[in-house]
Amino acid sequence: MIAARVLAMVDERQGYVERNGIDPGFAYPDANWSLGSQNAFAALFARVARCDQEVIGQLRAFTQVFTGHLLYEVRRGAPILESVAPYTDEVVADALAQRNGPYIEAWQRLTANLPLRYLVNPPARFGEIGHDVGGIIVNHDTFAYQERVNLLVESGVVALLDRLVIERGEIKILEIGAGWGGLASWVKRAFPSCSYTIVDLPECLLFSGLYLGLTQPALSLGWGCDPVPFGFRFVPNYAADALQEPFDLIINTLSMSEMSEVQVRHYAALLKAHWLALDGLFFEQNQDNRHLGFIRARDILAKELPGQKSLTLPSHELQKGMATLWSLRSADPSQAAIGEPITEMQNETYDLFLTHAWRYHEDWTRFGDMLDRVPDLSWRNFSVPWYDPAVDPNTEAGGRFIRQWLESQIAPVAAVIFLDGVYATKSARKWLDLELEIARARSIPVIGLAPVGQTEISNEARALVDVAVGWDPGQILAAVDKLQAAKT
Ligand SMILES: C[S@@+](CC[C@H](N)C(=O)[O-])C[C@H]1O[C@@H](n2cnc3c(N)ncnc32)[C@H](O)[C@@H]1O
């Protein structure tokens, strides 16, 4: 079905372009994917479109074209595969033993102290190979995508999205040129409440469609511009002009660097006209490909988008190109729309987790409203009472997913706010007990609050918390400071 949809999109391209007067320079692929010649990329598409057992079983071996990395040989370079037959277990194990070490080391440096939620964790499907490090398959691509995720975390984009999830329930993300979907896969798992759109050459939507559709089968897939709430929507690049809606985050990595100037300008115009909401962000990481006769996307974007901030990572030199966060706001990068690095914010920001049982409880909402009204207070709510409805918490895998999801919300915080009003509901207790267990295992202080409208916390709750305080921001923050100081 996925291949059939993609093949139809490829077939419809010429008619669509002609009927709608789309600039052919924008609609038809450039660089690696340019049509006309019997090039290896076109051959790869034809090979994968057969969707036979070998392709589906080992799809990841056929994704070298997006990463420049031959997964089963653990090295850079061609060829574009026709078959994986030569790669026996021994051949792959030998290549890993010889050449995977540097990727593991680089990955370990990037992930030291990162909460679980921020770890790129490729599913053990489609012939993914690498070293198992603490349950994560680590290879060149795991490292490469981790670099992108670290940039999103460090730049404050992830925190911003978390806030938007709380405020709106649904967030909208667009990726231009998603390759086989490696980054999309992480984003969708980290933000189950995002609706994820991919604009790509239809040939490449085959790869991302197969990978994302088959690794996250419970999610809805859509082909074309109709909305797919909380699912994946695949839009062929030639129909990009028909996508006229704002997104909270737009992503482009290692993709504009292989486009023509006409194509990048066209995307910049779409960003300005429709895709970048006034408070939206465009995260872009691309190589400078001028030495190969291509462009440096940043030069073109800088002329079009007023707000820009270069991103870096502490003690890590970026391997996959210069990274920039763009916005429609002022050119002054200190403006608030462009996230401040989390490391700079840590000393002055209160990171809190409010106990929840996967519903927006009145006390939960009130607490947020109360702190939001305190002038000059910087605080972040790490509690997201929402998970992917496709996950069944009663299965072993579902239970594990939910525990990890909670751990990733609780691990980074300075304190857990224990809402007795939520605890009063019997069915909520198993979740609050689990949240407490996670907090205790990490020595995170727990501060109790009575139900709204009551002055006293219940005896049961009092026995569970470190301290009980009133609904008063001053008292609450003083308790956080005190308990934190006692920890150190
Ligand atoms: C080198 S891959 C990078 C894939 C992925 N973003 C990553 O970081 O691994 C380049 C991606 O850009 C896409 N691309 C190339 N030209 C494009 C265009 N004109 N419009 C949209 N995507 C395009 C390719 O199809 C491919 O998905």
- pLDDT tens by residue, 446-464: 999 999 888 889 999 999 9
Nearest CA to 117 among 82, 152, 75?
152
Write out the residue range of the structural domain in which residue 194 sits.
150-327
- Cα distances from 437 to residues 118, 349, 354, 446, in angstroms, run 21, 24, 14, 11
Whether residues 161 and 53 fall in one domain: no
Whether residues 290 and 354 fall in one domain: no
User: How many domains does the chain contain in total?
Assistant: 3
Torsions phi, psi for 12 (to 5 deg) = -80, -10
pLDDT at residue 108, rounded to an integer: 96
Whether residues 434 and 401 fall in one domain: yes
Cα 264 to Cα 270: distance, rounded to the nearest angstrom: 10
Whether residues 290 and 231 fall in one domain: yes
Among 48, 186, 201, residue to substitute to test ligand 1 (most atoms within 8 Å of Cβ)? 201
Whether residues 405 and 379 fall in one domain: yes
Give me 425's structure tokens. Answer: 């509901």
User: Residues with Cβ < 8 Å from 389, sequence gap 6 or more?
Assistant: 230
- Cα distances from 96 to residues 123, 135, 245, 317, 323, in angstroms, run 18, 17, 44, 24, 29
Whether residues 298 and 244 fall in one domain: yes
Q: Could you tell me if 175 and 198 are in contact, meaning their C-beta atoms sit under 8 angstroms apart?
A: yes
- Tell me, yes or no, whether 478 lies in a domain: yes
- Tell me, yes or no, whether 166 lies in a domain: yes
Q: Rounded to the nearest whole angstrom, what is the distance from the C-alpha of residue 18 to the centroid of ligand 1?
A: 23
Looking at 327, 362, 387, the residue that finishes a domain is: 327
- Please tell me if the CB atom of residue 289 comes closer than 6 angstroms to any atom of ligand 1: no
What is the percent of the chain where pLDDT is above 90?
61
**3-state class of 81 per DSSP?**
coil
Whether residues 272 and 415 fall in one domain: no
pLDDT at residue 339, rounded to an integer: 43
Going by DSSP bridges, is the β-strand pair 136-138/131-133 parallel, antiparallel, or unpaired? antiparallel
Say which CATH number the domain at 458 has: 3.40.50.9200
- The gap from C-alpha 466 to its chain's centroid, in whole angstroms, comes to 35
Whether residues 167 and 304 fall in one domain: yes
- Tell me, yes or no, whether 112 lies in a domain: no
pLDDT at 340 over 70: no
Whether residues 289 and 394 fall in one domain: no
- Tell me, yes or no, whether 45 lies in a domain: yes
The residue with greater pLDDT, 295 or 354, is 354
Task: Return the H-helix or E-strand segment holding 133.
Answer: strand 131-133
What's the longest Cα–Cα distance across the chain? Answer: 76
- Tell me, yes or no, whether 163 lies in a domain: yes
Whether residues 208 and 73 fall in one domain: no
pLDDT band at 49 (very low <50, low <70, confident <90, very high): very high
Whether residues 236 and 376 fall in one domain: no
- Please tell me if the CB atom of residue 66 comes closer than 6 angstroms to any atom of ligand 1: yes
Looking at 110, 136, 162, the residue that finishes a domain is: 136
pLDDT at 36 over 70: no
- Cα distances from 484 to residues 312, 378, 380, 381, 407, in angstroms, run 29, 17, 16, 17, 19
- Tell me, yes or no, whether 464 lies in a domain: yes
Q: Which amino acid is at 2?
A: I
What does the pLDDT average to over 245-261? 93
**3-state class of 355 per DSSP?**
coil
